Structure 1
Amino acid sequence: MAAYSGRGLHGHIVETIGGRILDGTYAPGQTVHPDELERELDVSKTVVREALRVLASKGLVDSRPKRGTFVRPRSEWSLLDASLLRWQRRGAPDRRFLADLAEVRAIIEPAGARLAATRRTEADLAAMREALAVLAEPGADASAVIEADLRFHRALLAAAHNELMGRLEVVVEAGLRERDRIVHSGERWPDAVPAHRAVLDAVAAGDPAGAAAAVESLLEQASTDLAHAAGGEAGPHARNSGARNSGDSAAG
Protein backbone atom coordinates (compact mmCIF):
# COMPACT_ATOMS: atom_id res chain seq x y z
CA MET A 1 0.00 0.00 0.00
CA ALA A 2 3.02 2.25 -0.29
CA ALA A 3 2.86 5.36 -2.42
CA TYR A 4 3.96 4.97 -6.01
CA SER A 5 7.73 5.34 -5.98
CA GLY A 6 8.31 6.07 -9.65
CA ARG A 7 10.83 8.83 -10.30
CA GLY A 8 11.50 11.16 -13.16
CA LEU A 9 9.25 11.56 -16.16
CA HIS A 10 7.33 8.32 -15.71
CA GLY A 11 6.51 9.10 -12.08
CA HIS A 12 5.43 12.62 -13.05
CA ILE A 13 2.98 11.30 -15.66
CA VAL A 14 1.46 8.84 -13.18
CA GLU A 15 1.01 11.70 -10.68
CA THR A 16 -0.48 13.99 -13.33
CA ILE A 17 -3.10 11.56 -14.64
CA GLY A 18 -3.85 10.16 -11.19
CA GLY A 19 -4.32 13.66 -9.79
CA ARG A 20 -6.74 14.54 -12.58
CA ILE A 21 -8.84 11.49 -11.78
CA LEU A 22 -8.91 12.25 -8.07
CA ASP A 23 -9.83 15.91 -8.54
CA GLY A 24 -12.62 15.09 -11.00
CA THR A 25 -10.99 16.43 -14.16
CA TYR A 26 -11.48 12.91 -15.51
CA ALA A 27 -14.81 11.72 -14.14
CA PRO A 28 -15.82 8.09 -13.54
CA GLY A 29 -16.90 6.52 -16.81
CA GLN A 30 -15.03 9.09 -18.90
CA THR A 31 -12.78 7.83 -21.67
CA VAL A 32 -9.09 8.65 -21.37
CA HIS A 33 -7.38 8.92 -24.75
CA PRO A 34 -3.72 7.83 -24.61
CA ASP A 35 -2.87 9.53 -27.92
CA GLU A 36 -4.18 12.86 -26.61
CA LEU A 37 -2.14 12.46 -23.45
CA GLU A 38 0.96 11.73 -25.54
CA ARG A 39 0.54 14.98 -27.44
CA GLU A 40 -0.49 17.13 -24.48
CA LEU A 41 2.21 15.89 -22.11
CA ASP A 42 4.80 15.50 -24.88
CA VAL A 43 5.76 11.96 -23.93
CA SER A 44 6.03 8.66 -25.74
CA LYS A 45 3.35 6.03 -26.18
CA THR A 46 5.38 3.72 -23.91
CA VAL A 47 5.43 6.23 -21.03
CA VAL A 48 1.66 6.81 -21.21
CA ARG A 49 0.94 3.09 -21.51
CA GLU A 50 3.08 2.30 -18.45
CA ALA A 51 1.48 5.14 -16.45
CA LEU A 52 -1.98 3.82 -17.25
CA ARG A 53 -0.88 0.34 -16.23
CA VAL A 54 0.16 1.68 -12.81
CA LEU A 55 -3.15 3.51 -12.45
CA ALA A 56 -5.04 0.37 -13.44
CA SER A 57 -3.28 -1.51 -10.62
CA LYS A 58 -4.73 1.09 -8.23
CA GLY A 59 -8.25 0.54 -9.58
CA LEU A 60 -8.50 3.96 -11.23
CA VAL A 61 -8.72 2.97 -14.89
CA ASP A 62 -9.55 -0.03 -17.02
CA SER A 63 -9.30 -0.88 -20.70
CA ARG A 64 -11.80 -2.81 -22.79
CA PRO A 65 -11.90 -3.79 -26.47
CA LYS A 66 -13.87 -1.26 -28.55
CA ARG A 67 -14.32 1.01 -25.52
CA GLY A 68 -10.69 1.91 -24.85
CA THR A 69 -9.34 3.21 -21.55
CA PHE A 70 -11.82 4.73 -19.11
CA VAL A 71 -12.03 5.87 -15.48
CA ARG A 72 -13.54 3.25 -13.19
CA PRO A 73 -16.28 4.05 -10.62
CA ARG A 74 -14.98 5.50 -7.35
CA SER A 75 -16.31 2.43 -5.53
CA GLU A 76 -13.64 0.37 -7.34
CA TRP A 77 -10.67 2.64 -6.50
CA SER A 78 -8.05 1.44 -4.03
CA LEU A 79 -8.80 4.31 -1.67
CA LEU A 80 -6.33 3.11 0.98
CA ASP A 81 -3.47 3.22 -1.51
CA ALA A 82 -0.95 5.79 -0.23
CA SER A 83 -0.76 7.56 -3.60
CA LEU A 84 -4.54 7.96 -3.80
CA LEU A 85 -4.66 9.29 -0.25
CA ARG A 86 -1.98 11.83 -1.14
CA TRP A 87 -3.59 12.88 -4.43
CA GLN A 88 -6.96 13.27 -2.73
CA ARG A 89 -5.46 15.84 -0.33
CA ARG A 90 -4.66 18.20 -3.19
CA GLY A 91 -6.75 21.29 -3.80
CA ALA A 92 -9.78 22.22 -1.73
CA PRO A 93 -10.46 19.95 1.26
CA ASP A 94 -13.14 17.31 0.72
CA ARG A 95 -15.23 17.51 3.91
CA ARG A 96 -16.72 14.06 3.40
CA PHE A 97 -13.25 12.60 2.90
CA LEU A 98 -11.99 14.31 6.07
CA ALA A 99 -14.97 12.99 8.03
CA ASP A 100 -14.37 9.45 6.77
CA LEU A 101 -10.70 9.65 7.73
CA ALA A 102 -11.60 10.95 11.19
CA GLU A 103 -13.99 8.04 11.74
CA VAL A 104 -11.37 5.49 10.72
CA ARG A 105 -8.77 7.13 12.96
CA ALA A 106 -11.25 6.94 15.85
CA ILE A 107 -11.39 3.16 15.32
CA ILE A 108 -7.69 2.51 14.72
CA GLU A 109 -5.82 4.74 17.14
CA PRO A 110 -7.56 3.99 20.47
CA ALA A 111 -7.17 0.27 19.74
CA GLY A 112 -3.53 0.82 18.83
CA ALA A 113 -2.97 2.75 22.06
CA ARG A 114 -4.43 -0.12 24.11
CA LEU A 115 -1.98 -2.54 22.55
CA ALA A 116 0.89 -0.07 22.83
CA ALA A 117 0.35 0.27 26.57
CA THR A 118 1.03 -3.44 27.03
CA ARG A 119 3.63 -4.02 24.31
CA ARG A 120 5.70 -0.83 24.08
CA THR A 121 9.45 -1.02 24.37
CA GLU A 122 11.87 1.61 25.62
CA ALA A 123 12.71 2.36 21.99
CA ASP A 124 9.01 2.99 21.26
CA LEU A 125 8.73 5.36 24.22
CA ALA A 126 11.91 7.16 23.18
CA ALA A 127 10.48 7.74 19.68
CA MET A 128 7.28 9.19 21.13
CA ARG A 129 9.22 11.39 23.56
CA GLU A 130 11.43 12.74 20.77
CA ALA A 131 8.40 13.69 18.70
CA LEU A 132 6.73 15.31 21.70
CA ALA A 133 9.88 17.33 22.41
CA VAL A 134 9.66 18.90 18.95
CA LEU A 135 5.95 19.60 19.40
CA ALA A 136 6.71 21.44 22.63
CA GLU A 137 9.69 23.36 21.25
CA PRO A 138 9.21 27.15 21.55
CA GLY A 139 9.11 28.83 18.17
CA ALA A 140 8.73 25.62 16.16
CA ASP A 141 7.22 26.45 12.77
CA ALA A 142 4.16 24.80 11.27
CA SER A 143 6.19 22.44 9.08
CA ALA A 144 8.23 21.12 12.01
CA VAL A 145 5.11 20.73 14.16
CA ILE A 146 3.25 18.80 11.47
CA GLU A 147 6.15 16.39 10.88
CA ALA A 148 6.61 15.85 14.63
CA ASP A 149 2.87 15.20 14.98
CA LEU A 150 3.10 12.54 12.28
CA ARG A 151 6.13 10.95 13.96
CA PHE A 152 4.29 10.77 17.28
CA HIS A 153 1.28 8.99 15.80
CA ARG A 154 3.44 6.64 13.72
CA ALA A 155 5.43 5.75 16.84
CA LEU A 156 2.20 5.10 18.74
CA LEU A 157 0.96 2.65 16.10
CA ALA A 158 4.39 1.03 15.85
CA ALA A 159 4.37 0.50 19.61
CA ALA A 160 1.33 -1.79 19.19
CA HIS A 161 3.67 -4.26 17.46
CA ASN A 162 0.90 -5.46 15.18
CA GLU A 163 2.11 -5.69 11.59
CA LEU A 164 -1.31 -5.19 10.00
CA MET A 165 -2.18 -2.25 12.22
CA GLY A 166 1.15 -0.68 11.36
CA ARG A 167 0.17 -0.70 7.69
CA LEU A 168 -2.82 1.47 8.55
CA GLU A 169 -0.50 4.37 9.24
CA VAL A 170 -1.25 5.55 5.68
CA VAL A 171 -4.81 6.31 6.78
CA VAL A 172 -3.69 8.03 9.96
CA GLU A 173 -1.08 10.04 8.05
CA ALA A 174 -3.59 11.13 5.41
CA GLY A 175 -6.03 12.34 8.06
CA LEU A 176 -3.31 14.05 10.06
CA ARG A 177 -1.65 15.81 7.13
CA GLU A 178 -4.90 17.27 5.83
CA ARG A 179 -6.12 18.24 9.30
CA ASP A 180 -2.77 19.82 10.20
CA ARG A 181 -2.53 21.64 6.87
CA ILE A 182 -5.83 23.39 7.61
CA VAL A 183 -5.30 24.01 11.33
CA HIS A 184 -1.73 25.28 10.93
CA SER A 185 -2.44 27.54 7.96
CA GLY A 186 -2.66 30.67 10.11
CA GLU A 187 -0.33 32.42 12.50
CA ARG A 188 -2.03 30.92 15.55
CA TRP A 189 -3.01 27.32 16.23
CA PRO A 190 -4.38 25.30 19.13
CA ASP A 191 -2.15 23.84 21.83
CA ALA A 192 -2.34 20.05 21.69
CA VAL A 193 0.86 19.16 23.56
CA PRO A 194 -0.96 18.30 26.84
CA ALA A 195 -3.24 15.89 24.99
CA HIS A 196 -0.27 14.16 23.35
CA ARG A 197 1.59 14.06 26.66
CA ALA A 198 -1.42 12.35 28.29
CA VAL A 199 -1.26 9.61 25.64
CA LEU A 200 2.46 9.11 26.18
CA ASP A 201 2.09 9.02 29.98
CA ALA A 202 -0.64 6.38 29.81
CA VAL A 203 1.32 4.23 27.36
CA ALA A 204 4.48 4.54 29.48
CA ALA A 205 2.50 3.62 32.61
CA GLY A 206 1.17 0.46 30.96
CA ASP A 207 -2.44 1.65 31.27
CA PRO A 208 -4.45 0.34 28.28
CA ALA A 209 -7.77 1.92 29.24
CA GLY A 210 -6.10 5.23 30.06
CA ALA A 211 -4.15 5.21 26.78
CA ALA A 212 -7.29 4.58 24.74
CA ALA A 213 -9.20 7.30 26.61
CA ALA A 214 -6.33 9.76 26.12
CA VAL A 215 -6.29 9.11 22.37
CA GLU A 216 -10.06 9.51 22.17
CA SER A 217 -9.73 12.86 23.96
CA LEU A 218 -6.92 13.92 21.61
CA LEU A 219 -8.99 13.02 18.54
CA GLU A 220 -11.97 14.91 19.96
CA GLN A 221 -9.79 17.99 20.38
CA ALA A 222 -8.43 17.54 16.84
CA SER A 223 -11.97 17.51 15.42
CA THR A 224 -12.90 20.62 17.39
CA ASP A 225 -9.74 22.43 16.26
CA LEU A 226 -10.45 21.51 12.63
CA ALA A 227 -14.01 22.83 12.88
CA HIS A 228 -12.76 26.12 14.32
CA ALA A 229 -10.02 26.44 11.69
CA ALA A 230 -12.43 25.69 8.85
CA GLY A 231 -14.68 28.41 10.24
CA GLY A 232 -11.81 30.88 10.24
CA GLU A 233 -11.36 30.93 14.02
CA ALA A 234 -8.21 30.19 15.99
CA GLY A 235 -10.04 27.78 18.27
CA PRO A 236 -9.69 27.18 22.00
CA HIS A 237 -6.29 27.36 23.69
CA ALA A 238 -4.74 28.98 20.62
CA ARG A 239 -1.01 29.59 20.54
CA ASN A 240 0.87 32.16 18.49
CA SER A 241 3.28 30.43 16.12
CA GLY A 242 5.96 33.02 16.72
CA ALA A 243 5.82 33.21 20.50
CA ARG A 244 4.60 30.30 22.57
CA ASN A 245 5.25 31.38 26.15
CA SER A 246 4.61 28.00 27.71
CA GLY A 247 6.83 26.17 25.24
CA ASP A 248 3.85 24.18 24.01
CA SER A 249 2.93 23.93 20.35
CA ALA A 250 -0.02 22.50 18.53
CA ALA A 251 -0.73 19.34 16.61
CA GLY A 252 -3.58 16.90 16.08
Structure 2
Amino acid sequence: MTARTFDMTKRIGTRVAAGAVLTAAGAFGFASLVPSAHADTKPATTTHVAAVTKADTASKVDANGADAKGAKAGATAQDVIKLARTQIGTHEDASGNSKFNNWYIDSPLGEQNAQRIGAKSASVYKGQSWCDMFVSWLGQNTGAKGMGADAYTVSHAQWFKKTGRFGQTPKPGAVVFFAWNGGGIKGIDHVGIVVKDNHDGTINTIEGNTGNAVKQKVRDTSTVAGYGYPEYR
Protein backbone atom coordinates (compact mmCIF):
# COMPACT_ATOMS: atom_id res chain seq x y z
CA MET A 1 0.00 0.00 0.00
CA THR A 2 1.38 3.41 -0.90
CA ALA A 3 0.46 6.93 0.02
CA ARG A 4 -1.05 7.46 -3.41
CA THR A 5 -3.39 4.52 -3.16
CA PHE A 6 -4.29 4.96 0.50
CA ASP A 7 -7.89 6.07 1.03
CA MET A 8 -7.56 8.93 3.48
CA THR A 9 -11.29 9.33 3.99
CA LYS A 10 -11.60 5.80 5.30
CA ARG A 11 -8.64 5.99 7.66
CA ILE A 12 -8.26 9.43 9.21
CA GLY A 13 -9.53 9.45 12.75
CA THR A 14 -10.15 5.70 12.72
CA ARG A 15 -8.14 3.12 14.60
CA VAL A 16 -8.16 -0.21 12.81
CA ALA A 17 -6.75 -3.59 13.76
CA ALA A 18 -3.50 -3.07 11.90
CA GLY A 19 -3.50 0.67 12.61
CA ALA A 20 -3.02 3.55 10.25
CA VAL A 21 -0.40 6.17 10.85
CA LEU A 22 0.82 9.27 9.13
CA THR A 23 4.45 9.84 8.45
CA ALA A 24 6.03 12.43 10.66
CA ALA A 25 7.20 15.39 9.45
CA GLY A 26 9.73 17.90 8.85
CA ALA A 27 12.91 16.07 9.73
CA PHE A 28 12.66 13.75 6.78
CA GLY A 29 10.35 15.22 4.20
CA PHE A 30 8.16 12.12 4.28
CA ALA A 31 4.51 13.07 4.13
CA SER A 32 2.12 10.25 3.41
CA LEU A 33 -0.39 7.95 4.99
CA VAL A 34 1.09 4.54 5.62
CA PRO A 35 0.40 1.33 7.55
CA SER A 36 1.09 1.68 11.23
CA ALA A 37 3.68 -0.18 13.25
CA HIS A 38 3.36 -1.47 16.77
CA ALA A 39 4.47 -4.48 18.76
CA ASP A 40 1.51 -6.24 20.30
CA THR A 41 -2.07 -6.30 19.15
CA LYS A 42 -3.54 -7.93 22.25
CA PRO A 43 -5.49 -5.26 24.18
CA ALA A 44 -4.28 -4.36 27.63
CA THR A 45 -6.55 -5.47 30.46
CA THR A 46 -6.75 -1.95 31.84
CA THR A 47 -6.32 1.28 29.98
CA HIS A 48 -5.85 4.87 30.90
CA VAL A 49 -4.01 7.76 29.41
CA ALA A 50 -1.54 9.72 31.47
CA ALA A 51 -2.27 13.40 31.57
CA VAL A 52 -0.19 15.61 29.33
CA THR A 53 1.70 17.88 31.67
CA LYS A 54 3.06 21.34 31.06
CA ALA A 55 6.52 19.78 30.88
CA ASP A 56 5.33 17.53 28.08
CA THR A 57 4.02 20.34 25.91
CA ALA A 58 6.27 23.24 26.84
CA SER A 59 9.40 21.98 25.12
CA LYS A 60 9.07 23.03 21.49
CA VAL A 61 12.03 21.74 19.55
CA ASP A 62 13.10 21.52 15.97
CA ALA A 63 13.34 18.36 13.90
CA ASN A 64 16.93 17.74 14.96
CA GLY A 65 16.09 17.77 18.66
CA ALA A 66 17.32 21.26 19.45
CA ASP A 67 15.30 23.22 21.95
CA ALA A 68 13.62 26.26 20.39
CA LYS A 69 14.97 28.43 23.20
CA GLY A 70 18.44 26.94 23.01
CA ALA A 71 18.08 25.57 26.53
CA LYS A 72 19.37 22.11 25.64
CA ALA A 73 22.72 21.25 24.13
CA GLY A 74 22.17 17.59 23.38
CA ALA A 75 21.68 14.60 25.64
CA THR A 76 23.41 11.40 26.66
CA ALA A 77 22.07 7.91 26.07
CA GLN A 78 21.43 7.63 29.79
CA ASP A 79 19.36 10.82 29.72
CA VAL A 80 17.02 9.20 27.20
CA ILE A 81 16.88 5.89 29.05
CA LYS A 82 16.20 7.64 32.34
CA LEU A 83 13.28 9.56 30.87
CA ALA A 84 11.94 6.40 29.21
CA ARG A 85 11.92 4.62 32.57
CA THR A 86 9.71 7.32 34.06
CA GLN A 87 7.06 6.51 31.45
CA ILE A 88 6.86 2.74 32.07
CA GLY A 89 3.26 1.81 32.78
CA THR A 90 1.78 4.70 30.82
CA HIS A 91 -1.24 3.35 28.93
CA GLU A 92 -3.33 4.53 26.04
CA ASP A 93 -7.02 5.11 26.68
CA ALA A 94 -9.91 3.04 25.37
CA SER A 95 -9.87 4.92 22.07
CA GLY A 96 -6.21 4.09 21.47
CA ASN A 97 -4.98 7.60 22.28
CA SER A 98 -2.02 8.36 24.54
CA LYS A 99 -0.17 11.33 25.99
CA PHE A 100 2.35 10.83 23.19
CA ASN A 101 -0.34 11.24 20.54
CA ASN A 102 -1.44 14.41 22.31
CA TRP A 103 2.10 15.74 22.39
CA TYR A 104 2.64 14.98 18.72
CA ILE A 105 -0.61 16.67 17.78
CA ASP A 106 0.51 19.80 19.63
CA SER A 107 4.06 19.72 18.26
CA PRO A 108 5.36 21.68 15.26
CA LEU A 109 6.18 18.34 13.64
CA GLY A 110 2.61 17.14 13.71
CA GLU A 111 1.26 20.42 12.43
CA GLN A 112 3.80 20.59 9.62
CA ASN A 113 3.06 17.12 8.38
CA ALA A 114 -0.68 17.65 8.61
CA GLN A 115 -0.28 20.64 6.31
CA ARG A 116 1.77 18.61 3.85
CA ILE A 117 -0.87 15.92 3.47
CA GLY A 118 -3.67 18.45 3.23
CA ALA A 119 -5.29 17.54 6.55
CA LYS A 120 -7.16 20.25 8.39
CA SER A 121 -5.08 19.77 11.54
CA ALA A 122 -2.65 17.47 13.30
CA SER A 123 -5.62 15.94 15.14
CA VAL A 124 -5.45 13.21 12.48
CA TYR A 125 -2.80 11.63 14.73
CA LYS A 126 -5.32 11.14 17.53
CA GLY A 127 -5.77 7.47 18.36
CA GLN A 128 -3.08 6.30 15.94
CA SER A 129 -0.37 3.80 16.88
CA TRP A 130 2.21 5.64 18.90
CA CYS A 131 5.39 3.55 19.33
CA ASP A 132 7.44 5.97 17.21
CA MET A 133 5.73 9.02 18.68
CA PHE A 134 7.03 7.76 22.05
CA VAL A 135 10.59 7.53 20.71
CA SER A 136 10.25 11.00 19.17
CA TRP A 137 8.92 12.35 22.47
CA LEU A 138 11.97 10.96 24.30
CA GLY A 139 14.39 12.54 21.88
CA GLN A 140 12.80 15.92 21.79
CA ASN A 141 12.11 16.18 25.52
CA THR A 142 15.75 15.39 26.32
CA GLY A 143 17.18 17.48 23.50
CA ALA A 144 18.94 14.48 21.98
CA LYS A 145 20.59 15.40 18.70
CA GLY A 146 20.32 13.33 15.56
CA MET A 147 17.50 11.20 16.93
CA GLY A 148 14.94 12.28 14.38
CA ALA A 149 11.24 12.51 15.00
CA ASP A 150 8.67 10.44 13.20
CA ALA A 151 5.37 8.68 13.61
CA TYR A 152 6.19 5.92 11.12
CA THR A 153 8.95 3.42 11.82
CA VAL A 154 9.99 2.66 8.25
CA SER A 155 10.63 6.28 7.30
CA HIS A 156 12.42 6.85 10.61
CA ALA A 157 14.79 3.95 9.89
CA GLN A 158 15.29 5.14 6.32
CA TRP A 159 16.29 8.54 7.66
CA PHE A 160 18.90 7.00 9.98
CA LYS A 161 20.28 4.99 7.05
CA LYS A 162 20.38 8.06 4.81
CA THR A 163 22.36 9.96 7.44
CA GLY A 164 24.84 7.08 7.81
CA ARG A 165 23.79 6.24 11.36
CA PHE A 166 22.04 2.90 10.93
CA GLY A 167 23.70 -0.39 11.82
CA GLN A 168 23.48 -3.80 13.44
CA THR A 169 25.18 -3.24 16.80
CA PRO A 170 22.96 -2.78 19.87
CA LYS A 171 24.09 0.13 22.01
CA PRO A 172 22.40 1.72 25.03
CA GLY A 173 20.17 4.55 23.85
CA ALA A 174 20.04 3.33 20.26
CA VAL A 175 16.69 3.39 18.50
CA VAL A 176 15.89 -0.27 17.80
CA PHE A 177 13.70 -1.20 14.85
CA PHE A 178 11.90 -4.54 14.84
CA ALA A 179 10.72 -6.54 11.84
CA TRP A 180 8.87 -9.54 13.24
CA ASN A 181 8.77 -11.33 9.89
CA GLY A 182 12.06 -10.07 8.46
CA GLY A 183 12.28 -8.02 5.32
CA GLY A 184 14.83 -5.45 6.43
CA ILE A 185 13.84 -1.81 6.71
CA LYS A 186 10.74 -2.27 4.56
CA GLY A 187 9.53 -4.97 6.94
CA ILE A 188 9.84 -2.88 10.12
CA ASP A 189 6.84 -3.18 12.43
CA HIS A 190 7.86 -1.55 15.68
CA VAL A 191 10.43 0.62 17.44
CA GLY A 192 11.86 1.17 20.91
CA ILE A 193 14.98 2.20 22.83
CA VAL A 194 17.85 -0.13 23.71
CA VAL A 195 18.63 -0.19 27.42
CA LYS A 196 21.25 -2.96 27.45
CA ASP A 197 22.90 -5.55 25.23
CA ASN A 198 22.84 -8.81 27.19
CA HIS A 199 25.49 -10.38 24.93
CA ASP A 200 23.44 -13.57 24.69
CA GLY A 201 21.37 -12.79 21.63
CA THR A 202 18.92 -10.63 23.56
CA ILE A 203 18.55 -6.96 24.41
CA ASN A 204 16.70 -5.11 27.14
CA THR A 205 14.45 -2.39 25.76
CA ILE A 206 11.82 0.17 26.67
CA GLU A 207 9.04 0.44 24.11
CA GLY A 208 5.83 2.39 23.68
CA ASN A 209 2.59 0.89 22.39
CA THR A 210 3.48 -2.62 23.50
CA GLY A 211 0.28 -4.16 24.79
CA ASN A 212 -1.04 -0.58 24.53
CA ALA A 213 1.45 0.70 27.11
CA VAL A 214 5.07 1.68 27.71
CA LYS A 215 6.87 -1.45 28.86
CA GLN A 216 10.28 -2.94 29.54
CA LYS A 217 10.95 -5.90 27.29
CA VAL A 218 13.63 -8.49 26.59
CA ARG A 219 13.84 -9.02 22.83
CA ASP A 220 15.67 -11.55 20.71
CA THR A 221 18.06 -9.77 18.37
CA SER A 222 16.88 -12.02 15.54
CA THR A 223 13.76 -9.81 15.37
CA VAL A 224 15.80 -6.62 14.90
CA ALA A 225 16.03 -5.00 11.48
CA GLY A 226 18.66 -2.55 12.68
CA TYR A 227 19.55 0.25 15.04
CA GLY A 228 19.55 4.00 14.62
CA TYR A 229 22.30 5.87 16.43
CA PRO A 230 21.53 9.36 17.78
CA GLU A 231 24.40 11.82 18.19
CA TYR A 232 24.69 11.59 21.95
CA ARG A 233 27.14 13.74 23.85
* Higher alpha-carbon Rg: 1
Q: Output the TM-score relative to the length of structure 1.
A: 0.30
For CA contacts below 8 A with separation 6 or more, give which structure has more relative contact order.
2
Q: Which structure is higher in strand share?
A: 2
TM-score w.r.t. the length of structure 2 is 0.32
